[in-house]
Structure 1
């Protein structure tokens, strides 16, 4: 079974050409479930929704508000049967079933805070949500944190933040799906160049048992 999960911090979807580019990427990759962060949209018009998801997909979104700059989750109902949706400022949770596997899962679209104190509280929130669902879990998105100094360069290191993030992953028994191709997901060019791996997929081990070829 082909099941492609796609996550993308798009840094704004206000321009029509950006909507078209994202829609083409979803189509080209034949994605089953899509996690979008930083939509920067306080609301979505039906025209914007249709342009982004087309006729085949369903959608849930958390509007942009303050420092929480908008999440959009999109899924193919032929692949994923939604049973419940939970929308918060920095996380959208879809609870449902992967049809061909008859597997109930909880999939999280995540955009973590930049502030370390707020981010530490966010790990607690996510841990509580994971525990409350008691289901195989996929977390995808922009975690605004790295696990080690090898996951960034040209940036100030915060050892405590790295430890907190690593402990969150470990305490919840999650697997960090390795990157293929590039080493980083965020790059700053110029004189003060830098890069980090901020975007990732964290999975319950059961997911990889059922979907060993997940990309």
Structure 2
């Protein structure tokens, strides 16, 4: 099964929508996680009907303004919603008697806000501990300051 994850940094512009659709189509994705959609809920339906007709979806508009995360999948797959938060959507699906969990993440920008995400993931771990669990997305965390686009070489 092909899973495609992309931090789209906004889906408001038709050219961005077209680019996302083409990349998903080219990669023959069956499950798609779009992160940082920055799109009002009332615009979601039109975009899904235009570009993803026949796909099913979960989103986190109830928990987060501008629907930070969308999980889309081909309608012949059976995905079940486990839970949504302002920073994640977790789904489960089975294939050939094998249960798999997928969590799409878009972490908040501040460490204090991300603490809620870490606590939530710890709780989910108890649920999925005996199964495969894939975590994807943008955690908004770096291991080293060299990974940041804002990194500046200190002057000596």
TM-score, scaled to structure 1: 0.61
- The corresponding residue for 1:32 is 30
1:126 aligns with 2:125: no
**Unpaired segments of 5 or more residues in structure 2?**
none
- The corresponding residue for 2:138 is 142
Conserved 8 A contact 1:9-1:141: yes
- Cα deviation code 1:37-88 (max 9, x no counterpart): 1111231443211223232x2211112845x75110011244x422334222
**Unpaired segments of 5 or more residues in structure 1?**
157-191, 193-215
1:103 aligns with 2:98: yes
1:86 aligns with 2:83: yes
* Superposition RMSD in Å: 2.5
With over 3 angstroms needed to count, the CA separation of the structure-2 counterparts of 1:24 and 1:54, relative to structure 1, is farther
Shift of 1:154: 5.0
Partner SS, residue 78 of structure 2: strand
Partner SS, residue 144 of structure 1: coil
Q: How far apart are the structure 2 equivalents of 1:131 and 1:76?
A: 29
Partner SS, residue 39 of structure 2: coil
Shift of 1:137: 0.6
Q: How does 1:141-160 map to 2 (within 5 A)?
A: 141-149=137-145, 151-152=147-148, 154-155=150-151
Q: How far apart are the structure 2 equivalents of 1:11 and 1:39?
A: 6
Q: How far apart are the structure 1 equivalents of 2:38 and 2:53?
A: 20
With over 3 angstroms needed to count, the CA separation of the structure-2 counterparts of 1:29 and 1:114, relative to structure 1, is same
Conserved 8 A contact 2:87-2:105: yes
Q: How far apart are the structure 2 equivalents of 1:155 and 1:137?
A: 32
Partner SS, residue 50 of structure 1: helix
Q: How far apart are the structure 2 equivalents of 1:49 and 1:130?
A: 31
